[in-house]
C-alpha cells in the first residue's frame, strides 16, 4: 500500500505564476520529508527537505509546507520558470528507519 | 566530480538470462540503495545497504539480489529476469541512512527491458 501519495499526476502553470505540488502520507511515524526533481534521462536530484519540527522551509524560489495534523505537505515554486518543468517526487522517512518512501510523482509543465 | 555511476544505461535481454547492473559511488558514502521506477507507481525501493556486507530488503525485493563487498560498489543482480522486471532502475547513495536526514544522490538510471 502506497504510504506516500501524490494525487495529481500532472500540473501545468504559466511562467511567472505559482506552482503548488501536493503530497499526502499515511504513516504518522514519518518525520522527515524530501522533494526530488527529475528531468528526463537523468536521476532524481534533491530539491528541498523539511523535518517534522518545522512547518515551513524555504530555499530561494522553493518553499515546502508541512501540515502534520492533515498528513500533508506541499511544494510551492514562485515564480515558476520553464526550467522547472520536470517530474517532482516527494519522499518520507522516520527516525530509525532505513527506508525512504517515494510518492508517484507529479509532472510539472511551466508554459512560457 | 562526485557522482553515482550505473552500467549499463540501457539493456534489452531475454527471460531467464542472468544479468548484473553495476553501481559505483565516489563519495565514500555508507548507505546505498536500489529503486525501480514504474508508471503510476513512482520509485520503489528494492534493496539497500547500510555499509559493507550489510544489506536488507526494501519494498520490492523479489527476484533481485545484491551484494556489498566494497564500500563504493553495490551491484544489482537479476538471476532469472522476467518481463515484469522491465523497468527503469536507479542506484542511490548517501552519507548515512535516511533516518540521519541525509539526501540521497542518484545515478542516471538503467532502462531494462526483459523480453
Q: Which residues of A touch B31 (CB under 8 A)?
A: 98
pLDDT exceeds 80 at position B78: yes
Beta bridge partners of B62: none
Q: Give the mean pLDDT of B52-68.
A: 96
Mean pLDDT computed over every residue of chain B: 95
Query: What is the number of alpha carbons within 13 Å of residue A86 lying toward its C-beta?
Result: 20
- Cβ contact, residue pair A96, B99, below 8 Å: yes
CB atoms near residue B84 (< 10 Å): 10
- Give one DSSP letter per residue of A23-73, joined into a string: EEE--TT--EEEEEEE-TTS--EEEEEEETT-SEEEETTEEEEEETTTTEE
- Report whether pLDDT(B66) > 90: yes
Across residues B41-50, what is the average pLDDT? 95
DSSP letter string over B50-111?
Answer: EETTEEEE-S--TT-EE--SSSSB--EEESS--GGG-EEEEEEEESS-GGGTPPPEE---EE
- So what's the pLDDT on residue B98? 83
Q: For A41-96, write each residue's pLDDT tens digit.
A: 999 999 999 999 999 999 999 999 999 999 999 999 999 999 999 999 999 999 88
The answer to whether the Cβ–Cβ distance between B40 and A34 falls below 8 Å is: no
Kindly calculate the radius of gyration of chain B based on its CA atoms and give it in whole angstroms. 13
Q: Check A98 against B103: CB less than 8 A apart.
A: no
pLDDT tens, B15-38?
Answer: 999 999 999 999 999 999 999 999
Is the pLDDT assigned to residue B99 strictly greater than 80?
no
Q: How does pLDDT run across A22-46, given as a tens digit for each residue?
A: 999 999 999 999 999 999 999 999 9
Q: How many CA atoms lie within 13 A of A28 on its CB side?
A: 2
50-89 in B: which are within 8 Å (CB) of A?
50, 56, 58-59
Tell me what pLDDT residue A20 has: 98
Amino acid at each position: 500500500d502506497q504510504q506516500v501519495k501524490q494525487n495529481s499526476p500532472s500540473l501545468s502553470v504559466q511562467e511567472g505564476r505559482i506552482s503548488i505540488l501536493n503530497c499526502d502520507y499515511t504513516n504518522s511515524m514519518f518525520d522527515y520529508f524530501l522533494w526530488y526533481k527529475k528531468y528526463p534521462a537523468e536521476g532524481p536530484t534533491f530539491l528541498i527537505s523539511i523535518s517534522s519540527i518545522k512547518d515551513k522551509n524555504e530555499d530561494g524560489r522553493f518553499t515546502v509546507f508541512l501540515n502534520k495534523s492533515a498528513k500533508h505537505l506541499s511544494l510551492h515554486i514562485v515564480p515558476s520558470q520553464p526550467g522547472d518543468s520536470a517530474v517532482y517526487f516527494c519522499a518520507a522517512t522516520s527516525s530509525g528507519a532505513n527506508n525512504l518512501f517515494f510518492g508517484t510523482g507529479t509532472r510539472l509543465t511551466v508554459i512560457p | 566530480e562526485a557522482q553515482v555511476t550505473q552500467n549499463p544505461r540501457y539493456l534489452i535481454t531475454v527471460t531467464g538470462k542472468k544479468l548484473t547492473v553495476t553501481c559505483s559511488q565516489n563519495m565514500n558514502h555508507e548507505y546505498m540503495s536500489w529503486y525501480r521506477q514504474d508508471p503510476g507507481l513512482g520509485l520503489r525501493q528494492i534493496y539497500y545497504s547500510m555499509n559493507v556486507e550489510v544489506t536488507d530488503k526494501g519494498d520490492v525485493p523479489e527476484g533481485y539480489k545484491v551484494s556489498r563487498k566494497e564500500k563504493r560498489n553495490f551491484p544489482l543482480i537479476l538471476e532469472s529476469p522476467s518481463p515484469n522486471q522491465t523497468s527503469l532502475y536507479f542506484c542511490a547513495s548517501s552519507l548515512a541512512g535516511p533516518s540521519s536526514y541525509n539526501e540521497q544522490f542518484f545515478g542516471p538510471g538503467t532502462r531494462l527491458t526483459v523480453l
